[in-house]
Each structure stands twice: as C-alpha cells, then as structure tokens.
A and B are shown apart, each in its own frame.
Chain A
Amino acid sequence: MINKKVSNVANALEGVKNGMTFMLGGFGLCGIPENAIAELVRLGIKDITCISNNAGVDDFGLGLLLQGRQIKKMISSYVGENDEFERQMLSGELEVELTPQGTLAEKCRAAQGGFPAFYTPAGYGTEVAHGKETREFNGKMYVLEHAYKADFSFVKAWKGDEAGNLIFKGTARNFNPCMCGAATITVAEVEELHPAGSLDPNEIHIPGIFVQRIFKGEHYEKRIEQRTVRTKNHA
C-alpha cells in the first residue's frame, strides 16, 4: 500500500503559491472542499485561477476567497447567487471565463485521462466558440476544446482510505471525481478516513492512484443553498 495520508490540512496544502491554477470540486455548495478553501483563506494565497463549476455564495465556499480578493480568474459554468462576484466581475477586478457545464467537466476528465483536446457540439454557433477550431463530423458541427492544466485539484469525498481510494455520497460527487488526477497534485479531503483494507475494493469510485494526498476534514458545515421541503399532509 502506498500511503497518501497527511496529518492535517496545512500539510495537505504544502506547496501552494500565488498565481497558481486550482481545480475545486462541488456543485453550488454541495461537495465543496470546505477545509482546503478555509486553509487557502488562512494562507492568503493571491492571484489564483479557479476552475470550479460555481463561485460559492457571498459568505461561504469560494465566496470567502472572493471576499479577500484572492481570485484573479474564475473558470465556471454558472456564477449566480453571489453579489460580490458580480461586483468584481462588472468592475473588471475579476476575470471570468464562462464554459458550458459538460465541457467544463470533460476538460477536467481529458486532463485526467491524457487527452490534449476533444470535440464537443456544445457552444457551436455561440460566442463560446469564438476563436476556436470547428469541424464537421457526420454532418454536425463541433468545437475543439482543450484539456485544463492545473497545479492542484482540491476534491471532497465522503469516505476514503490511507491509499487514497475515494467514495462519494449522493450528488456531492459531481465534479470531484473528474478533477482527481487532473492536476499536478490532487488533494482529497474526506469526512471519514479509514485504514487501508477496510473499504471494499468493489465500492471504490476513484482509485488512489489519482490522489497524491488525503486528509480527514476537521469540520464540515455542509450548508444548504435552497432548503425545499414538503409537508406530511401533502404526501
């Protein structure tokens, strides 16, 4: 067993520097690497490029890094629900690259799987395709999209083991598996860190080969963005 366990978040983030590009898992606030984000805030790393589907809300998730003006550029598919983000974008302080969600996921997976680029139909004929190579296959037009390059991937899983194997829960899975092994160093934080051999190999979603460092997150707030419920008498 190759041991990927590090003792805490500080050790897990060793080597992060100003100006680096980070991938961060999560959809909205669901499945975000809360502990890694908190540590990036504490370290005060600046001029970051973030590849993340969303940008958090004003006071949580990537919104915390925006508050401290730590982000230079955001690469996302959807950035609503964040006033500070909107302000920084409109004032020109923050560079924003909007990418179709499926393309964003695939640009991560391409980096993980060793593809330099791929063709997708998404965005053909729109401003997303401006300046990009297009090509026809079987009578349909496609846009060439390149794999991302990143220094660190910060992902969050439900369970993990010391070998770096990961299991995700519910829709907190989202972009996290696609980002594992897609950057030079992948840092996984987990709610439960188990000894190697205690997770069933049949149940592993992401094998430890894609993960360089794993640690148990100290605290998870798991904030809910839209709490929607039904009442019993409607059932």
Chain B
Amino acid sequence: MLDKNGIAKRIAKEVQDGFYVNLGIGIPTLVANFVREDINVEFQSENGVLGMGPFPFEGEEDADIINAGKQTITTLPGASFFDSATSFAMIRGKHVDLTILGAMEVADNGDIANWKIPGKMVKGMGGAMDLVASAENIIVAMMHTNRAGESKLLKQCSLPLTGVGCVKKIVTNLAVLEVGPKGFVLLERAPGVSVEEIQKATQGRLIVKGTVPEMVI
C-alpha cells in the first residue's frame, strides 16, 4: 500500500518531457517533488503563473507571488505571470498537457465529485470545473477509500458533480486504474496489495484482465 508521497511518486512517472502541468491542492502538489530532474516541465498555477518553483527561503517570501493554495512560492527561469482569464484560456484551450487533481468520488464512467458536501462543506469549486471540463489528460490522485473505509471508486457519484465523463486515470494508495468504456480497468497494483483487496475496495465496475503487474516506483 502506498502513502500520499507514494501516490505522488507514481504519478510523477506520468509527467513527460515538455509538459505543461497543472497541479491541484493536496496530494497533487507533492508530485512536483518527484518529477525526474533530466526532463523539462513547467508547472501552471491557475491564479496566474507558469514556471512555478519551490517555496522561498525564509525571509524571501513575497506576498505578491503565491500559488492557487495561497502559499508563498518562487518562480524558475522562463516563468511568466498573467491574468485569470488568460490562465483559464490556457486550461480551456487545452494548452495545458496534464492536470492532476484530488477527488472525493470518481464513478466508473469518469464522472468526478470534489467540490461540495451538501450541508457540510460548501467552499466552492475554484478552478476544478474549468479544469475537468477541458483537460484531455486528467489524473486523479486520491485514497482508494474514505475515512469510514467506504470506496471512493463508485458506480455513480453520490455527491454533486464537478464534471461528467472526464477522468481518464486514477492513482490511489492501492492501484493504478484507467476509465474504460465498461468501467475501471485495473492497470497496476500497489506493492504488496492483491487484486482481491482492490476488488473489495472498489464499488464501481472493475475490469481485471490477465495478470496485473505491481507498480514500479
């Protein structure tokens, strides 16, 4: 089984040379720490920066340079700043190559819910609806089950949707899955996790073809 850093490490392998990547808040933010150093990648933050770098050194924080999580950041050579409409033109216009975001629920037809728990949490969707409606290449990073042990990979989302039929790939603490025409296709198992354990933790349709390899991280 993987921890959050393990999930981020596995997703980092999906990041290719020359990619512009949008990272959501939470586990996706960790992906930046594990991207190979021999490839060129630029991270986009929807509040208006391309070419995000690491956190600043203490004393060098600038209130005018933050990421979408409102954290102080730095920029790398080649970075640029732009307004919010331009930022979402990059997203809506499919100029961003890969979007990595978290989710509360994913359905086996690719629906995703990650912005609202009626009556409990109403913080808003931020940029998530724009991202999932347009990105061609969306990877969801999340735990396979919630704190109550219930599956987050469902036949149908129970929470209000963020987008319909948009998720392509999911990396959880247990598995790597793809959304196929007939449900979740199991691609890889996390180290030490059996197919049966993944089946038990998946409420949506799960397709297992032949021997499922263990992840190489």
Contact = CB atoms under 8 A, between A and B. Distances in A.
Interface stretch (A7-15, A42-50, A97-105, A207-215): A97-105
A231 B64 CA distance: 20
B65 A229 contact: no
B66 to A, nearest CB: 5
Interface string A66-96: 0000000000111111000010010000001
B133 A226 contact: no
Interface residues of A, number: 59
Nearest to B49: A171
Contacts of A158: 64
Contacts of B123: 78-80
B126 A173 contact: no
Given A78-B124, A178-B85, A224-B72, A126 B161 contact: yes
Contacts of A216: none
A163 to B, nearest CB: 20
A102 B81 CA distance: 16
Contacts, number: 181
Interface string A171-206: 111111110000000000000000000000000010
A228 interface: yes
A158 to B, nearest CB: 8
Interface of A: 27-31, 53, 76-81, 86, 89, 96, 98, 100-106, 108-109, 120-128, 158, 168-178, 205, 222-232, 235
11 contacts: A27-B68, A79-B122, A98-B122, A105-B84, A121-B133, A124-B133, A171-B48, A172-B63, A224-B63, A224-B66, A230-B55
